[in-house]
């Protein structure tokens, strides 16, 4: 059964997700981009307030593909005490130097999640590089949220191939990208480890709007059915 990841942008939203017993509370600021980051001070405050009763992930933001810049951002986020750190791998650059630089952090025990973007035609051959570098997992997301959900921008067979490839390499596997309640029945048979939500949990299904408790509980119930 796929577990639930809920993206939140404040302590208030994080507490709502905790009350709903969401499997992973994901800290991000949607107003800042596809993987917009919360300030590390705010992340730390949320981690402390949740008192280690929930698994927490956080993104380092939509950063240029520069190895040292990303390395320092991951190190800084690691100091907040989150369980997982998500790093967006954007197209147009050679990812190998970045992956190699981050390997020293996985060797220190940091749990890193590589995020690929379905609407940017990612190369799934990179999953071997992430596995070899000690990454904890990989996730499919979407960069341009106006293009629709993951299931609308990538063929089902390609999503299935991603999940299969991740599992073969013993990587945690997550699927996200403007997922709607209607996508759950389609994606559950793939048995990804996590399905991630933001817009579907918000008022009027707008990802930059406030979290809506009723929607949060409805999505969780749909995952459990």
State the catalytic residues: 28, 86
Residue 159: partners with Cβ closer than 8 Å, 6 or more residues away = 118, 140, 150, 151, 175, 187, 190
- Determine phi and psi for 172, rounding to 5 degrees: -55, 140
On whether the CB atoms of residues 150 and 135 are closer than 8 A, the answer is: no
Beta-bridge partner residues of 24: 5, 55
Q: How many residues does the chain have?
A: 225
Question: What is the rounded distance in angstroms from the CA atom of residue 159 to the CA atom of residue 150?
Answer: 9
Ordered DSSP codes for 77-136: HHTTT-SEEEEE--SSS--HHHHHHHHHHHTTT--EEEEEEGGG---TTHHHHHHHTT--
């Amino acid at each position: 059964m796929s577990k639930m990841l809920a993206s939140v942008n404040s302590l208030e939203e994080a507490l709502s997700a905790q009350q709903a017993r969401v499997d992973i509370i994901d800290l991000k600021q949607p107003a800042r981009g596809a993987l917009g980051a919360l300030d590390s001070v705010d992340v730390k405050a949320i981690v402390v307030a949740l008192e280690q009763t929930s698994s927490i992930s956080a993104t380092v933001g939509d950063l240029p593909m520069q190895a040292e810049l990303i390395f320092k951002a991951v190190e800084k986020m690691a100091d907040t005490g989150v369980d997982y750190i998500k790093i967006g791998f954007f197209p147009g650059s050679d990812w190998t130097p970045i992956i190699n630089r981050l390997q020293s952090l996985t060797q220190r025990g940091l749990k890193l999640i590589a995020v690929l973007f379905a609407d940017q035609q990612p190369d799934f051959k990179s999953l071997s590089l992430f596995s070899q570098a000690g990454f904890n997992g990989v996730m499919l997301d979407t960069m341009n949220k106006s293009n629709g959900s993951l299931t609308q921008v990538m063929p089902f067979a390609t999503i299935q191939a991603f999940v299969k490839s991740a599992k073969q390499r013993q990587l945690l596997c997550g699927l996200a990208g403007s997922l709607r309640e209607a996508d759950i029945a389609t994606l559950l048979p793939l048995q990804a480890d996590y399905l991630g939500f933001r817009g579907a949990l918000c008022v009027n299904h707008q990802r930059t709007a406030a979290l809506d408790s009723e929607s949060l509980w409805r999505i969780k119930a749909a995952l459990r059915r």
